[in-house]
A and B are shown apart, each in its own frame.
Chain A
Amino acid sequence: MSVCEVRHLYKEYPSFLLRDLSFSLEPGTITGFIGRNGAGKTTTIKSMLNIVHPSKGEIFYFGMPLIGNECLIKQRIGFSAGAVNYYQKKKLRDIAAVTKSFYQNWDDAAYKKYVRLFSLNENKALCELSEGMKVKCNLLLALSHHAEILILDEPTSGLDPFSRDELTDLFGMLKEHGVAIFFSTHITSDLEKCADHIVYIRNGQIVLSDTKQNFCDRLGKSGETLEQMMLRLEKEARDDEADL
Chain B
Amino acid sequence: MTKLIYKELKLSASPLSYIFIAAAFLTFVPGYPILLGAFFTTLGIFYSFQTMRENNDIQYSLLLPVAKADVVKSKFVFTVLIECCSFILMTVITLIRMLLFKDAAIYTANALMCANLSFLGFALLIFGLFNVVFVGGFFKTAFYFGKPFIAYCIISFIVIVIAEALHHLSGMDSFNSFGFDRLFPQGAVLCIGLLLFVVLTSFGIKKSEQIFERIDL
Please list the residues of chain A having a beta carbon within 8 angstroms of any beta carbon in chain B.
46, 49-53, 70-75, 79, 85-90, 94-95, 97-99, 101-103
Contacts and interface: CB of A to CB of B under 8 A. Distances in A.
Contacts of A52: 216-217
A89 to B, nearest CB: 8
A83 to B, nearest CB: 11
B216 A75 contact: no
A87 B63 contact: no
Given A87-B11, A95-B11, A70 B67 contact: yes
B64 A99 contact: yes
Interface string B34-70: 0000000000000000000011110110111111100
B11 A74 contact: no
Contacts of B214: 53
Given A98-B7, A99-B64, A102-B65, A86 B59 contact: yes
A129 to B, nearest CB: 15
Which applies to chain B's interface (DSSP): helix, strand, loop or mixed?
helix
Given A71-B67, A85-B56, A87-B55, A102 B3 contact: yes
A87 B60 contact: yes
Contacts of B11: 86-87, 90, 94-95, 98
B216 A51 contact: yes
A97 B68 CA distance: 21
Interface pairs A-B: 8 shortest CB-CB: A74-B65, A52-B216, A86-B60, A75-B65, A87-B55, A71-B65, A102-B64, A101-B3
B57 A94 contact: no
Which applies to chain A's interface (DSSP): helix, strand, loop or mixed?
loop
Contacts of B54: 88
Given A94-B10, A98-B10, A86 B56 contact: yes
B6 interface: yes
Contacts of B59: 51, 86
Contacts of A97: 10
B66 A71 contact: yes
Contact of B57 (A73, A74, A86, A102): A86
B42 to A, nearest CB: 23
A99 B65 CA distance: 10
A22 to B, nearest CB: 21
Contacts of B63: 49, 51, 74, 79
Contacts of B67: 70-71
8 contacts: A51-B62, A70-B67, A71-B66, A72-B65, A74-B63, A87-B55, A95-B11, A98-B11
A97 B10 CA distance: 10
A73 B59 CA distance: 17
A145 to B, nearest CB: 9
Contacts of B57: 86-87
Interface in B1-24: 3, 6-7, 10-12
A101 B65 contact: no
A84 to B, nearest CB: 9
Given A71-B65, A74-B65, A88 B10 contact: no
Contact of B216 (A53, A72, A94): A53
A88 B55 contact: yes
Given A71-B66, A102-B64, 7 more contacts: A49-B62, A71-B65, A85-B55, A86-B60, A94-B11, A98-B7, A102-B66
Contacts of A74: 63-66
A91 B32 CA distance: 41
Contacts of A102: 3, 64-66
A89 B6 CA distance: 17
